[in-house]
Amino acid sequence: MCILVAVETTEGINMKHLITTLIALTVMACSKQPDLPESKVISIRQERYEIVHVDQPKHFWVNLKHIETGVVFERTARRKHCNRWREFPVGTVIYVRTIRYENNTFAVDSDDAKNVICG
């Protein structure tokens, strides 16, 4: 999540210092945070997902819902171009590699999802 801040300046503030600080805070706040806590991988296997949203090109991405749990992974399989996107309308069920962790969490392998959908 990225938070933008508006600041009204006064005469006593050093503008160069303020701008440098704001840029540093923006970079830290907007950097990608890890999706899962560190945990040991216990299995990697193909599991079923339903495509629940497709954002069409120019920049392609989909939302995938894990069939067994109902967990939705948003903005998965992002690619700048995907010529095969029309072959995978909303409601299509695909098999994608799923990574399961020791702490009872799991994640979709987004690289595998890209390969399945976009080739």
pLDDT at 14: 64
Please report where in the chains the tokens 């948003």 appear, as a residue: 74
* Structural domain spans, the chain: 1-33, 41-118
The CATH T-level fold of domain 41-118 is OB fold (Dihydrolipoamide Acetyltransferase, E2P) (2.40.50)
- Whether the pLDDT of residue 112 is over 50: the answer is yes
* pTM, full prediction: 0.63
17-70 pLDDT tens trace:
556 655 555 554 444 444 545 678 999 999 999 999 988 767 788 899 999 999
Of 107 and 77, more confident: 107
Cα–Cα distance, 55 to 76 (Å, whole number):
10
- Whether the pLDDT of residue 118 is over 60: the answer is yes
Q: Which residues contact 45 (CB under 8 A, 6 or more apart)?
A: 97, 98, 100
Query: What percent of the chain is helix, strand and coil (3-state, nearest 5)?
Result: 25, 35, 40
- Whether the pLDDT of residue 90 is over 60: the answer is yes
